[in-house]
Structure 1
Amino acid sequence: MKIHILIVFLVTCLFGASVPTECKDFKTGKFKMEDDQTGTNYITRNDSTQIEYLPKLGIKVELNAVWTSDCTLELSLKDILENTNNYPISDFILVSKIIKTTDSSYVMSSEIKGVDDTPMVKEFIRID
């Protein structure tokens, strides 16, 4: 019986590890992300630009988007399009890596380059 459990465990691990992360499916499009502090965030991304809209905070920014590998994206501030509450927004580079995908969503781990040691992990859902 222990052998059967071990075999099932090994097969599950091997097949689970071999499932590819289809990052290319999420390089462009419209997405939303829920956050306890900022509410629902809306993201629109094309090949080189990402627009993020945070209605709860009254913030809309345009970001330069550079894919440094199949699953890693670097975002930097290009322009502040809206900031109705005058929140301080400074230049930054956000390094984000897609770590899991499904048919309609992806999970991304993100860190601010040179500032943050603890990655933020969030799920983004395709809305287009």
Structure 2
Amino acid sequence: MAFKQFPRMKKIATTTLLALMLSLAMSCKTDKESVEEDELVEVLDCSSVKTGKFKYANPAYGEWIIDRNETTSIEISETDDLKIYSDVVWITDCEYELHITDTDNLDNMAVVSSVLRVVITDVMDYGYKCVSYTPDGPEEFEMIRIDG
């Protein structure tokens, strides 16, 4: 009833309310997005799994051993006696690229010069979970530390 007497006040109140709601909605969305983007970098400490020896938790991936230091990675298939050599380029504390540089099997030379991006999504006492982005699409893996 009070707004019928003051149409200009009604317009100002409506405009102010809409601006406040829009501002609140934008700030909530921005806060949520920044938490999601920073979550892996800020909250997750990947330093304990940047180096070491690991194997795949899923036996379907075979008996591959990954031996990684700060700058190189060697993947060894114990069943096929195959080795793949890669340079490791860390993008963030929890994300790196594998630049495949060599393999000791001529049948697998096609993988040389490939680049795979890996994002560590979880770190546990016994290893870590990650997503590997390959030309065939993303794949999730769980890796188990085997060097103590």
Asked whether the two chains share a fold, i.e. TM above 0.5, the reply is yes
Whether the aligned pair in 1 keeps the contact of 2:102 and 2:109 (CA below 8 Å) is: no
Where does residue 115 of structure 2 map in the other structure?
Answer: 93
TM-score, normalised on structure 2?
0.63
Where does residue 53 of structure 2 map in the other structure?
Answer: 30
Where does residue 5 of structure 1 map in the other structure?
Answer: none
Task: Please tell me whether residue 121 in structure 1 is matched to residue 140 in structure 2.
Answer: yes
Where does residue 82 of structure 2 map in the other structure?
Answer: 59
Decide whether aligned partners of structure 1 residues 92 and 71 sit closer, same or farther in structure 2, where only a CA change above 3 A counts: same
Residue ranges of structure 1 left out of the alignment (5+ in a row): 1-16
Deviations 1:21-53 (A, max 9, x none): 221110111111145554121000111000001
Whether the aligned pair in 2 keeps the contact of 1:43 and 1:52 (CA below 8 Å) is: yes
Normalized per residue, which structure has more strand?
Answer: 1
- Greater C-alpha radius of gyration: 2
TM-score, normalised on structure 1?
0.72
Whether the aligned pair in 1 keeps the contact of 2:58 and 2:142 (CA below 8 Å) is: no
